[in-house]
Structure 1
Amino acid sequence: MHDNDTESRPVEALRVWISTQSDTTVVTVVGEVDYLTAPRLAHALDTALLLGARRLRVDFGGVSFCDCCGLNVLLEMRGRCLDAGVGFWLSTPLASEVERLLDLTETGPVLLSEPATTQGPRV
């Protein structure tokens, strides 16, 4: 196999960190979220939830691209947070590419709505 037989592209590093602001755990994400980097995002969100987050805000302002793998991570975590009684939302502003993904998939209303309060786990 020759080097030209497979197309390669540089992978933009995804940076993710967790912080606390008042009663909210913030997961800040910078870079591109795709099939290669979505597991890193999932791990950070899992960690935030395991550390006892009661409100989990995902700062996606530094994300320049997100594909369906990243969207699936966000939707799965939102469901887990709902089950655990943890508020979950994406903060704005978002890159136009991310806004377009949310518009096309009609997931913006569920991911961008900041919960008023947390209610405890669903039973």
Structure 2
Amino acid sequence: MADAPKSMEVSGSVMDGVAEKGGATESPSKKSHQEYVVFPIRWVVLFIFVLYSSSNSMQWIQYSIIQDAVVKYYGVSSITVYWTSMIYMITYIPLIFPASFLLDKTVSCV
């Protein structure tokens, strides 16, 4: 007959290690050293993110640089041109937190 699966209740925190409830845990100072492996693809993804972020931050203010030409060509006020760059920063501040959360949750699932 097959062995019944053993149910395990976990106690303690992640920093303490995992132990069955009621069992003895190792002290944190006696833990073996755990090495982390950094894969080269992480550096590629980081480079792409930095490149994308820097290009995005350079382009968001482009209309305020050529504000005189845009005002003359489209016949709008200069405050309208300034708002095109301000809208980016106003929406960036509240939306960066949910975007970072979603990015963290979707990437950690991979």
TM-score for the superposition, normalised by structure 1: 0.21
Normalized per residue, which structure has more strand?
Answer: 1
Normalized per residue, which structure has more helix?
Answer: 2
Pick the structure with greater CA Rg: 2
Question: Which protein has greater RCO, CA pairs closer than 8 Å, 6+ apart?
Answer: 1
TM-score for the superposition, normalised by structure 2: 0.23
